[in-house]
Structure 1
Amino acid sequence: MVEIKTPEQIAKMREAGLVVAAIHEATRAAAVPGASTKDLDDVARKVLADHGAKSNFLGYGGFPATICTSVNDVVVHGIPDRETVLKDGDIISVDAGAIVDGWHGDAAFTVFVGTGHAPELHELSRVTEESMWAGIAAVRKGNRLVDISKAIEGYIRRQPRPASGKYGIIEDYGGHGIGSQMHMDPHLLNYVSKKRGKGPRLVTGFCIAIEPMVSLGTAKTHVLSDDWTVKTDDGTWSSHWEHSVALTEAGPLVLTAVDGGKAKLAELGVETAPDPLG
């Protein structure tokens, strides 16, 4: 069952989304050489407390932290700790969420630590982020879930190949419905699968977290002994970008973007919905 939201519920999700955006801003600034991933988690905890919001990551399935911090070849679900200290040249994906009055927000970004990164790493992050926006632009009334998957995969496949030979679209993880829970139906693949069919039709009140994960090599991953940390099988580095999006009568609203996605979607010729919070 896909949970369809009322305008009032979407407004609450927008509140949660703006808290997530604040976490992103603060952790991006804190992701410097010498900082531990636990330092970033502490920053996120403070933002949540300052906004009177709750974490939807802490305790989820036993997850022990407020955010996920995934460094270099870690794709998703990296656990913050004091031992993992960021170094010049690292990349890190930060995945964060928040709950406001029972409604959830969830988003992720990739950031470069220090300087001296290879051009292919910058391109990896750019391709992953832009594929996310291509998927967001496909959130239109009348489309189906597969149209989002098609837009994400299509964008990635059209890009010049990296020096490593290919981009790996991670297969075992993808986007998801979001609302009164963090993870809900439907599951969103970042590629087209004939086995999955077209998926549900997108209607007003449909909310989805769109999150491509792309590596510089394989699409295959494995989970470490902590039962959370996901790494690429071949050790290639990866990027992860995510936004939570609501489909309203006036079009898509990017709940976890400060401007609601207005500037970026305008570049793609898509008009966004008015911000319910003004």
Structure 2
Amino acid sequence: MGLLDRGIEIKTPEQVDAMRCAGLVVGRTLELMRSSARAGISTGELDAIAEDHIRASGATPSFKGYHGFPGSICASVNDEVVHGIPGPRVLADGDLVSIDCGAIVDGWHGDAAITVAVGEVSDELHHLMRVTEEAMWRGIAAARPGGRVSDISHAVEQHVRSSGNFGILEDYTGHGIGTQMHQPPDVPNYGKAGRGPKLVRGLALAVEPMITLGTKESEVLEDDWTVVTADGSWAAHFEHTFTLTPQGAWVLTALDGGEEMLGRLGVPFGGR
């Protein structure tokens, strides 16, 4: 493991393999969350299911106790964008719930998020989710060795702006990840290409667009965690952890490593 400027952590191939183990735990936990999220279940019950699965997989939840956070997942419903505390809230038909999950294996972190529709939701909400997830993949696909971090940011923003009138949160970003869940560099979801730290082999980043049906403005609730839209509009959030290999991008939290989606976008797959 080496360090670049600004404290950026560069992983060896063996360390990336360890991160893949953590990433697979996260990916499988989120698939369990996708199948478990339904009308009538509470976000606290989802949290208990996730924690049991993470620990049974030989991993530790990244979120539990992180700066005092009480849950093993973040569960953010409707106008809650990110960092929702799981608890007694019961999901209802028509809700959107963003589920963010992290796991640690042998000191290495994985971090990813999905947004799930509970029962039937409107076409507008399906479009919001689709645009947000596609923007994440466009950002990952824009990463090339020798490029810059803001190449990712620009690709995310371009896709969102070309897909409708959405708000892109600016106060919350993606991030570097490795021996800590949050490391330099920040990965904003907007901006011009060609700026920021260089993209190199062994750099691991979490890309996570947070997109609203309204404006980019947000507020934090009195619990000091839950971020909500200032205008009450609903939001979606997707996230994956990826790294760059000599062959291309490898999405460490995707069960197939990102091979299918990267192939659809016409970029090389760097996993194994």
Which TM-score band applies after superposition, normalised by the shorter structure?
over 0.9
Whole-angstrom distance in 2 between the partners of 1:48 and 1:127: 29
Match for residue 63 of structure 2?
57
* Aligned residue identity for 2:188: L
Whole-angstrom distance in 2 between the partners of 1:22 and 1:205: 23
Instruction: Provide the secondary structure at the position in 2 that maps to 1:106.
Output: strand
Taking the TM superposition and a 5 Å limit, the aligned residue runs for 1:135-150 are: 135-150=139-154
Instruction: Provide the secondary structure at the position in 2 that maps to 1:185.
Output: strand
| CA RMSD between the two structures | 1.1
1:61-108 CA deviation, whole Å, 9 max, x = no partner?
Answer: 1100100000000000000002x0000000100000000000000000
The reply to whether residue 215 of structure 1 matches residue 212 of structure 2 is yes
Whole-angstrom distance in 1 between the partners of 2:168 and 2:36: 28
Match for residue 96 of structure 1?
101
TM-score normalized with structure 2 length:
0.96
| Maintained 8 Å contact 2:135/2:156 | yes
Match for residue 44 of structure 1?
50
Match for residue 157 of structure 2?
153
Cα–Cα, structure 1 residues 193 and 138, in superposed 2: closer, same or farther, change >3 Å?
closer
Report deviation, 1:47. 0.8
Identity of aligned residues (%): 55
Report deviation, 1:274. 2.9
Match of 2:227 among 198, 218, 230: 230
The reply to whether residue 5 of structure 1 matches residue 2 of structure 2 is no
Whole-angstrom distance in 1 between the partners of 2:33 and 2:141: 27
Whole-angstrom distance in 2 between the partners of 1:27 and 1:268: 27
* Aligned residue identity for 1:182: M
Whole-angstrom distance in 1 between the partners of 2:16 and 2:204: 8
Taking the TM superposition and a 5 Å limit, the aligned residue runs for 1:84-233 are: 84-115=89-120, 117-159=121-163, 161=164, 166-192=165-191, 198-233=195-230
Whole-angstrom distance in 2 between the partners of 1:208 and 1:60: 19
Runs of 4+ in 1 over 6 A off after TM superposition: none
Instruction: Provide the secondary structure at the position in 2 that maps to 1:245.
Output: strand
1:36-57 CA deviation, whole Å, 9 max, x = no partner?
Answer: 0001001101111211100110
Match for residue 260 of structure 1?
257
Listed as ranges, the gaps of 5+ residues in structure 2 are 1-6
* Aligned residue identity for 2:128: L
1:194-228 CA deviation, whole Å, 9 max, x = no partner?
Answer: 9xx81011011111000000000010100001000
Whole-angstrom distance in 2 between the partners of 1:229 and 1:140: 34
**Alignment length, in residue pairs?**
266
